[in-house]
Amino acid sequence: MHLPNRLARIHTEEIGTHFLALAEEDRRLRFGRPMNDAALLAYVANIDFTRDAVFGVFDTDLLLMGVGHLARNAASAEIGLSVAAAGRGRGVGRSLLERAITHARACGMSMLYMHCLGENEPMRRLARRAHMSVVNDHGELQAHLELAPRTSGTHLADWVENSMGLAEHAFRVQMATSGYRPR
Ligand SMILES: CC(C)(COP(=O)(O)OP(=O)(O)OC[C@H]1O[C@@H](n2cnc3c(N)ncnc32)[C@H](O)[C@@H]1OP(=O)(O)O)[C@@H](O)C(=O)NCCC(=O)NCCS
Tell me the per-residue pLDDT of 81-125, one tens digit each, with 9 for 90 and over: 999 999 999 999 999 999 999 999 999 999 999 999 999 999 999
What pLDDT does residue 183 have?
A: 62
**Contact yes or no for 144/133 (Cβ under 8 A):** yes
| Cα–ligand 1 centroid distance for 50 (angstroms) | 28
CB-based pocket (< 6 A), ligand 1: 26, 29-30, 80-83, 88-94, 116, 120-123, 125-126, 129
Q: Given ligand 1 and candidates 82, 113, 129, 134, which is best to mutate, with the most ligand atoms within 8 Å of its CB?
A: 82
What pLDDT shows up at residue 182? Answer: 63
pLDDT exceeds 80 at position 68: yes
Domains identified in the chain and CATH numbers: 5-178 (3.40.630.30)
The residue contributing the CA closest to ligand 1 atom 5 is 93
Residue 180 has pLDDT above 90, yes or no: no
What pLDDT digit, counting tens, does each position of 9-42 carry?
999 999 999 999 999 999 999 999 999 999 999 9
32: alpha, beta or left, given left = phi > 0 and alpha = psi -120 to 50? Answer: left
Q: How far is CA 108 from CA 65, 159, 174, 176, in A?
A: 28, 14, 35, 37
At residue 179, the pLDDT reads 74
Report how far ligand 1's centroid is from the alpha carbon of 178 (Å). 33
- The ligand 1 atom at the shortest distance from the C-alpha of residue 117 is 47
Q: Quick one: pLDDT at residue 1?
A: 72
Q: What is the pTM of this model?
A: 0.94
| C-beta separation of 74 from 68 below 8 A | no
